[in-house]
């Protein structure tokens, strides 16, 4: 009958939906268990873990059962606790937190830097089901960042204590680095010189030639002499004689991205040479 046929169709549709839901649950479960990131399922009140994956337990040095039921605050570094109320308030307002960095405390007390993605999930009626927190161990990234910062600090220290004037120009001839030695000799502060066109340090009569050589070098058509003599202007307008060694800067692909110069102030030497020449002329 028509009623029986309709009933069979309803049963078939229900079975199809249940099968689809089971398949969806299976895929979610596989992703949950096999994820390279730590996944935490937390009750809506943010007072207890309902579920965690194996990666989460391994990362923190627990087994899965030990984490179920404990407060998320238990694995936060004490330094992070003061920020928790603000983040929870933001989560209630926006239902999701922007990606942020935090620090977890492992079972043995050691700390681990993590990147967190936190979101509140709701049912079809808008009632909170649970919080989902996905954490990624960023120890390697942080260590690399710290190592890079330390290396930059060392390089900067070498630059500042160098006996030569050191400076870097970008492809537009803007000054991107000028060390303390150079600032002291020319009478500028670093703030006065960084980002400025290099023309500010060159007498008018030499600017056109200097610009032409620079841009030809940036295009790969000019090679500076090994020891290039030039004149620089101090802040007070005095001219200083410099002998400069220039190195074209290239990236890994061979693309030119600037010029590194090491210069020695030879003004006093030039004056001494000129005085000696004049004395010789008098004798002759």
Q: What confidence tens digit (pLDDT) does each residue in 46-85 have?
A: 889 999 999 999 999 999 999 999 999 999 999 998 888 8
pLDDT score, position 28: 55
Give the number of other Cβ atoms within 10 Å of residue 73's Cβ.
12
Query: Among residues 159, 169, 157, which one has the least CA distance to residue 201?
Result: 169
In this predicted structure, the answer to whether residue 130 has a pLDDT above a threshold of 60 is: yes
Same domain, 159 and 195: yes
N-terminal to C-terminal alpha carbon distance within the chain: 134
Range of the domain at 59: 35-137
Task: Clarify whether residues 157 and 278 are in a common domain.
Answer: yes
How high is the mean pLDDT of the chain? Answer: 87
What pLDDT does 135 receive? 95
Q: Which of 137, 162, 196 is the last residue of a domain?
A: 137
* Same-domain check for residues 277 and 198: yes
Could you read off the pLDDT of 184-219 as tens digits, one per residue?
A: 999 999 999 999 999 999 999 999 999 999 999 999
172 and 272 in a common domain: yes
Identify the domain boundary among 111, 137, 163.
Answer: 137
Q: What CATH number is given to the structural domain containing 40?
A: 3.30.450.20
The answer to whether position 25 is within a domain reads: no
Which of residues 9 and 118 earns the better pLDDT score?
A: 118
Same domain? For 153 and 199 the reply is yes
- Inter-CA distances, 181 with 177, 244, 248, 269, Å: 12, 14, 21, 18
Give the whole-number percent of the chain exceeding pLDDT 90. 57
pLDDT at position 21 is: 63
Say which residue, 54 or 225, is predicted with more confidence: 54
Residues 103 and 179 in one domain: no
Q: Looking at residue 282, what is its pLDDT?
A: 75
Q: Is 153 in the same domain as 132?
A: no
Assess whether pLDDT exceeds 70 at residue 23: no
33 falls in which pLDDT band (50, 70, 90)?
low
Q: How many domains does the chain have?
A: 2
Question: pLDDT: is 225 or 167 the higher one?
Answer: 167
Q: For residue 175, is it within any domain?
A: yes
The pTM of this model reads 0.53
Q: Which of 96, 111, 137 is the last residue of a domain?
A: 137
Residue 32 in this model has a pLDDT that exceeds 70:
no
Residue 276: per-residue pLDDT: 85
Residues 241 and 262 occupy one common structural domain: yes
Q: Are residues 73 and 97 in the same domain?
A: yes
Q: Is residue 66 part of a domain?
A: yes
| 117 and 47 both lie in a single domain | yes
């Amino acid at each position: 009958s028509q009623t029986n046929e309709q009933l069979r169709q309803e049963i078939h549709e229900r079975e199809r939906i249940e099968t689809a839901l089971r398949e969806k649950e299976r895929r979610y479960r596989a992703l949950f268990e096999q994820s390279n990131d730590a996944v935490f399922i937390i009750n809506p009140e943010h007072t207890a873990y309902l579920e965690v994956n194996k990666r989460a337990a391994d990362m923190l040095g627990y087994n899965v059962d030990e984490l179920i039921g404990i407060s998320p605050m238990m694995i936060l570094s004490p330094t992070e606790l003061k920020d928790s109320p603000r983040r929870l308030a933001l989560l209630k307002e926006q239902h999701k937190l922007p990606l942020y960095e935090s620090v977890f405390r492992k079972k043995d007390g050691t700390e681990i830097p993590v990147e967190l993605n936190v979101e509140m999930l709701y049912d079809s009626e808008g009632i909170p089901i649970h919080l989902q927190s996905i954490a990624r161990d960023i120890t390697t990234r942080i260590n690399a960042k710290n190592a890079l910062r330390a290396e930059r600090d060392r390089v900067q220290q070498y630059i500042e204590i160098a006996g030569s004037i050191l400076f870097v120009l970008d492809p537009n001839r803007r000054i991107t680095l000028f060390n303390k030695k150079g600032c002291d000799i020319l009478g500028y502060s670093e703030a006065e010189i960084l980002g400025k066109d290099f023309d500010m340090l060159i007498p008018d009569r030499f600017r056109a030639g200097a610009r032409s050589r620079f841009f030809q070098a940036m295009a790969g058509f000019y090679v500076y002499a090994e020891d290039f003599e030039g004149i620089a202007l101090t802040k007070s307008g005095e001219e200083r004689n410099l002998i400069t060694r220039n190195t074209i800067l290239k990236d890994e692909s061979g693309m030119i991205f600037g010029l590194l110069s090491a210069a020695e102030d030879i003004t006093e030497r030039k004056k001494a040479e000129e005085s000696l020449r004049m004395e010789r002329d008098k004798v002759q």
